[in-house]
Amino acid sequence: MPLQVAAMTPDQAVAITRWRYEGPWSVYNGTWPPPEPADGYVAVVDPDASDIAAGFVGFACFGGQARVRGLPAEPGVLDVGFGMCPDLVGQGRGRSLLAVVLAHARETTEGTEFRVVVQSWNARSRRLVEAAGFVASGSLVVHQFGEPVAYTVLRRAR
């Protein structure tokens, strides 16, 4: 069975705070407090997994929760954010995760366009979203923890 979007449980939200990525991807390590499902976070799950914890593949968020600080909201544009459990990164599951996230967004939100923002050094994530039809439309530099961080902004039609 393909991946599915489900309501995020409190245990899944806390699990995200414990995720640890290797190398430069450590900038995505989860921090406290955990994301709030009431703020629009959803879980991406594998219903065929042997147990609930193993089936928690990733998460997604939309709108303001997905928008990088300094990037203004735009009418008709839905910001989309997503992440995958670090134990599953590099196993070829990113495309199916992104596909189910975008399908969920099409079914549950309004607008004419999706927008994602990827840290500019992250070629792996950029390849993933470009394979899903996103096209670079600009860049943004934001100061985070006192350091400038460059982002690439990508868009695609819903």
Has residue 95 got a pLDDT over 80?
Answer: yes
Identify the pLDDT of residue 149. 87
Of 148, 14, 134, nearest to 68 by C-alpha is: 148
Write out the E strands in the chain: 4-7, 42-45, 56-62, 77-84, 113-119, 135-144, 147-157
* pLDDT tens, position by position, 37-48: 778 899 999 998
More confident residue, 106 or 29: 106
Hey, is 148 helix, strand or coil? strand
Mean pLDDT of 49-75: 88
For 157, half-sphere exposure in the C-beta direction (CA atoms, 13 angstrom radius) is: 0
Distance of CA 31 to the CA centre of its chain: 15
Q: Does 25 score more than 90 pLDDT? A: no
pLDDT at 50: 74
- Going by their DSSP bridges, the two strands 77-84 and 113-119 should be labelled as parallel
pTM of the model as a whole:
0.91
Say which residues have a Cβ less than 8 Å from residue 50's Cβ, sequence separation at least 6.
none
Domain regions of the chain by residue span: 4-112
For the ranges 23-32, 44-53, 127-136, the one whose mean pLDDT is highest: 127-136
Task: Say if CB 124 and CB 116 are below 8 A apart.
Answer: no
